[in-house]
Structure 1
Amino acid sequence: MTRWGLTIPLTGVPLAEHREIVAALPGLGYTDAWSAESNGTDGFTPLALASQWAPELRLGPAIVPVYTRGPALLAQQAATLADLAPGRFVLGIGTSSDTIVERWNAIPFEEPYKRTRDTLRFLRRALAGEKVTEEYDTFAVRGFKLDGAPAVPPPIVLAALRPGMLRLAAREADGAITNWLAPADVPKVRAELGEEPELIARLFVCPTEDAEEARSIGRWMIAAYLNVPVYRAFHEWLGRGEALRPMNEAWAAGDRRKALEVIPDEVVDDLIVHGSPEACRARLREYVANGLTTPVLAIVPGGGMPVAEAVRALAPGA
């Protein structure tokens, strides 16, 4: 089954004003609402609200970092959402990036693979109601037990950008979350994950027929993300290393203007879905045809279309 997700909150719309938008999503054909966590809202609060506004939706954070909460607190927050949306909550966890973890939260970004693996293993036990006393490689937990484990333990999916984490997701999790990829990249990611696990991707969609405006917006986004080491490595693995090398070098030299200028149009068109709503929906279907299970739209304001209107125009039922 192909699912169709939306990223909440929508850019430029206060969270308190989302009730009507979220309540309408199931009627438009959306099956999921996924939050994020970087420098805006936290990953759990929008989902708690959505669980009451639209009881039909599956909900999940894509993702919450494994570093910025202690293991027990992460289990508590996941259990709370699982109770609010029994059988409809999916916990998305991952390393995040050195920018968010180290620069913004003053937490060492060390051994990301092991930290994710250890957190996954701890959460499996904690959310099943076990009392956990364990020395993991990256942390220790002594005598933690949830006071009321969820009746339906949530599936856990991992943020995964390269083979090691994709294979961990295949072995021990219930699926993988990725982003910043083109439809043609999906088979390479799917080959590492395997055919069966769910593959979720946040896709940036700018519904405008003004290609130059979409590319201008996209260049800023690409420069902000793909100079981060984890994303730079991801695109080197995908085969875009040479295409992005001039941008990476200009960014490292502090020349932000040049970094934007040297991003090829082809890269922007690969990574940002843009065009008319009909063209955007067709492009999203290419991802699904290539092996993506769950496209999660992240609507990028542009072209004069309000984001609430774009939600309707890009809906699978439109």
Structure 2
Amino acid sequence: MAALRDAVGRYGIWSAELHTVSPGERGEAAARLEALGYGAVWFGGSPGVEDAAPLVEGATGITVATGILSIWQHTPAEAGARFLELEAAHPGRFLLGIGASHAKLAAQYERPYSAMVEYLDGLDAAGVPASRVVLAALGPKMLRLSRDRAGGAHPYLVTPEHTAEARGILGEAPLLAPDLKVVLETDPGLARSAAREHFARYLELPNYTNNFLRIGFTEDDIAGGGSDRLVDAVYAWGDDARVRDRIDAFLAAGADHVALQIVRGGTPTGLPADEWRRLAAVLGL
């Protein structure tokens, strides 16, 4: 999967805020991120391929990925057809990230592992190369499926320790592109407050909480908005050196690429363009 590693580079930006802007502004954002030196932009928040297309069209080289397309919201035939259209127009620029979402978020949610296998069968039938698909995998079974039936894995809301475990399951070849949330705040109270505000929605989802328990956290860590230990493991915050160290920890644990998500406290509006620029400087892009 060397070509896929080269395509996404070491660092990318994950953003659900892209849903809040027009298609034209998405294209401008992709061009801005490309100019800053990021290798990929992950369109978060269950987008369809058509939602990501303006990002591909707005830039010339950056890889665009869905992070993630829900298998319950789009049929494999539909996703496959749109993938092939985008691939024909912009070869090698789009990566299809798919996931089984969560029981609380999907109207129809049953047998997620079997449903994912069937979805991959459908993508195969549609002509989508397995090497251009990554799975939102957390547990061992889905990680093995990422290894055997896809180009790799895009684990969300994880730690360096999980990344090391995932690399052990995937082996050397598949892409491992975990998400990491970044709070560009040095004050511990303010940083953890912003993180907990963002974290709250995820701590209501058993897929994530069960994964935290599986990798060594406790019920006490999960309660009350998340312990400092859990928050500090999942969110990078602090001065530039501390943030860079947290990002490097994922790479040292076996990640090929880190999808970086800016987290801001309060109710910010618009894209975090200033934070993307600052983070690029932290990374030396």
Q: Do they fold alike, i.e. is TM over 0.5?
A: yes
Between structures 1 and 2, the one with greater helix share:
2
Q: CA deviation at 1:3?
A: 2.3
In structure 1, what residue type is equivalent to 2:14? T
- State whether structure 2 residue 63 is matched by structure 1 residue 62: no
Q: CA deviation at 1:242?
A: 3.5
- Give the match for residue 283 of structure 1: 246
- Please provide the CA RMSD for this pair: 2.4
In structure 1, what residue type is equivalent to 2:284? G
- Give the match for residue 233 of structure 2: 270
Distance 1:173-1:46 versus aligned 2 partners, 3 A rule: same
* Residue segments in structure 2 that go unaligned for 5+ positions in a row: none
- Give the match for residue 3 of structure 1: 10
Separation in 2, partners of 1:180, 1:9:
14
Normalising by structure 1, we get a TM-score of 0.78
Runs of 4+ in 1 over 6 A off after TM superposition: none
Separation in 1, partners of 2:139, 2:116:
14
- Give the match for residue 126 of structure 2: 126
Separation in 1, partners of 2:81, 2:58:
22
Instruction: After superposition, give the CA deviation of every residue in 1:53-105 in whole Å (9 maximum; x if it has no partner).
Output: 11101111011111112232222222233234311211111101112213xxx
- State whether structure 2 residue 177 is matched by structure 1 residue 200: yes
Instruction: After superposition, give the CA deviation of every residue in 1:137-165 in whole Å (9 maximum; x if it has no partner).
Output: xxxxxxxxxxxxxxx88611111110000
**Which among 2, 24, 29 is matched to residue 32 of structure 2?**
24
CA contact under 8 A between 1:91 and 1:154: conserved in structure 2? no
Separation in 2, partners of 1:81, 1:240:
41
Separation in 2, partners of 1:21, 1:114:
36
Q: CA deviation at 1:302?
A: 3.9
In structure 1, what residue type is equivalent to 2:155? T
SS of the residue aligned with 1:205? strand
In structure 2, what residue type is equivalent to 1:101? A
SS of the residue aligned with 2:94? coil
Q: CA deviation at 1:22?
A: 2.2
Separation in 1, partners of 2:89, 2:243:
33
- Give the match for residue 307 of structure 1: 272
- State whether structure 2 residue 157 is matched by structure 1 residue 190: no
- Give the match for residue 117 of structure 2: 117
Separation in 1, partners of 2:240, 2:217:
27
Q: CA deviation at 1:208?
A: 0.9
CA contact under 8 A between 1:6 and 1:34: conserved in structure 2? yes
Distance 1:218-1:155 versus aligned 2 partners, 3 A rule: same
Separation in 2, partners of 1:184, 1:7:
21
Distance 1:112-1:302 versus aligned 2 partners, 3 A rule: same
Rg larger for? 1
In structure 1, what residue type is equivalent to 2:82? Q
Q: CA deviation at 1:9?
A: 5.0
- How many equivalent residue pairs? 272
Alignment of structure 1 residues 243-254 onto 2, 5 Å: 243-244=220-221, 247=223
Distance 1:13-1:123 versus aligned 2 partners, 3 A rule: closer
Q: CA deviation at 1:168?
A: 0.9
Separation in 1, partners of 2:85, 2:116:
21
SS of the residue aligned with 2:110? coil
Q: CA deviation at 1:299?
A: 0.8
Separation in 2, partners of 1:21, 1:277:
23
Percent identity of paired positions between Structure 1 and Structure 2: 31
